[in-house]
Structure 1
Amino acid sequence: MFVRAYLRASTFEQDASRAREVLEQFAARHDRVIAAEYLENASGAKADRPELLRLLKDARKGDVLLVESIDRLSRLPAEDWQKLKAAIDSKGLRIVALDLPTSHQGIADTKGDEFTRRMLGAINSMLVEMMAAIARKDYEQRRERQAQGIKKAKDEGKYKGRPVDADLHKRVAELLRAGLGIRSTARHADCSTTTVLRIKREM
């Protein structure tokens, strides 16, 4: 059994490696070692995530895809989630999420009878689907509330957008002029690639 940990944060301002320790502790409690780690800063609402795609490419039948929670794996719309789930299933990967106890059998060395294993597998599959749907709904609701808040502030003449960080703007511009790429600039300036692209356009 090869345990592949997937760690994701939505933006470069967030620490994608935050859950590393808790994942390692979980694996150790089941006498496993995380053999490969896939770390990235990308929205879970995007299907095109390089590290997740690399994980799928590397995976072999029987491997474990270990995540902190299902929403770290997906906040995708239903159609995109079904495509991702089909790719995971076609590789023979077993999804194990820390916050989904029914999935823990995927990393444990259980030798229960076939009927029990199949029943637990069916229940787990249903719960994974449910949690993926909840993760998407949560994402959409937060986006909707954000848009409503901005609209209200605009209607009241209070919305000014994000204040311009002159020092960050200068730092990003210097790095871009020095020939660094978008991702490298974002890493060195400690900001998102979206911010770098916006400043680059303004330049």
Structure 2
Amino acid sequence: MQIVRAYLRASTKEQNANRAKQQLQDFAAQHNLTITTFYAENASGATLNRPELMRLLSESSEGDILLVEQIDRLARLSNEDWDKLKRIINDKKLKIVSPELPTSHVLLEKEASFTSVVLHAVNNLLLDLLAATARKDYEDRRRRQAQGIQTAKQQGKYAGRKEDLSKQTAIKSMLKDKHSYNEIIESVGCSRSLVAKVSKQLKEEAA
């Protein structure tokens, strides 16, 4: 039986890393596979300092499938870090598969053929291309964001990042109803740190 490990990542703590879970489950079902484990975290794709990704790699065995929604969930890394990640993946002979990358779907086949070997090579080239594109997109957006902030500051219009009060209100209500942190994170689509922050506020208000 092929082991499928799904990796879910959101860039910011306020986003829901699990939003693509159903999409990946549907994709696996279409190929008669079952996802063994989900690894979800809120972390920047520009760093390898990702505990859940490292846990996935540590728990994986040779030939396991690493399923991601999009390649940029794995790779907005510098060339050096992308090479490090690929080396770990290749050493374990893991198979990176994504619904958005049709050439990767051949890796779901159990039996190797000449065609699958060729497509595997093509897939590796496309992975490098998509990783480079994802990194460039990340750097371009960061640069435009910095330029926008600088312009706003010069015009006296920059007020900093606003807190999402609607999320905090929802979190506060669920905490009062004794919901668990995991239930709140799943329902509201927020980070554990935000839930902890609101919980602390509630305790201070009650003191």
Task: Please give the TM-score of this superposition, normalised by the length of structure 2.
Answer: 0.78
Aligned residues: CA RMSD = 2.5
Residue type matched to 1:161 in 2?
Answer: G
Q: Distance in 2 between matches of 1:148 and 1:90?
A: 41
Q: How far does the alpha carbon of each residue in 1:122-142 deviate from its partner, in whole angstroms, 9 at most, with x for none?
A: 100000110011111110000
Q: Distance in 1 between matches of 2:148 and 2:162?
A: 17
1:135 equivalent to 2:134? Answer yes
Q: Residue 117 of structure 1: CA displacement?
A: 1.9
Per the alignment, residue 194 of structure 2 pairs with 186
Per the alignment, residue 8 of structure 1 pairs with 9
Q: Do the aligned residues in 1 keep the contact of 2:6 with 2:67 (CA within 8 Å)?
A: yes
Query: Any idea what SS the aligned residue of 2:5 has?
Result: strand
Residue type matched to 2:149 in 1?
Answer: I
Q: Distance in 1 between matches of 2:88 and 2:128?
A: 15
Per the alignment, residue 107 of structure 1 pairs with 108
Q: 1:37 to 1:156 in 2, by over 3 A?
A: same
Per the alignment, residue 59 of structure 1 pairs with 60
Residue type matched to 2:59 in 1?
Answer: D
Residue type matched to 1:122 in 2?
Answer: A
Within 5 Å, which residues of 2 pair with 1:117-156? Answer: 117-156=116-155
Q: Do the aligned residues in 1 keep the contact of 2:107 with 2:116 (CA within 8 Å)?
A: no
Number of matched pairs: 178
Task: Please give the TM-score of this superposition, normalised by the length of structure 1.
Answer: 0.80
Structure 1 residues without counterparts, runs of 5 or longer: 172-182, 191-195, 197-203
Matched residues, percent identical? 52
Q: How far does the alpha carbon of each residue in 1:150-175 deviate from its partner, in whole angstroms, 9 at most, with x for none?
A: 1111122222223478996xx9xxxx
Q: 1:189 to 1:77 in 2, by over 3 A?
A: same
Q: Residue 189 of structure 1: CA displacement?
A: 4.1
1:90 equivalent to 2:98? Answer no
Residue type matched to 2:147 in 1?
Answer: Q
Q: Do the aligned residues in 1 keep the contact of 2:98 with 2:105 (CA within 8 Å)?
A: yes
Q: Residue 4 of structure 1: CA displacement?
A: 0.3
Q: Do the aligned residues in 2 keep the contact of 1:30 with 1:108 (CA within 8 Å)?
A: no
Q: Distance in 2 between matches of 1:123 and 1:57?
A: 27
Per the alignment, residue 68 of structure 1 pairs with 69
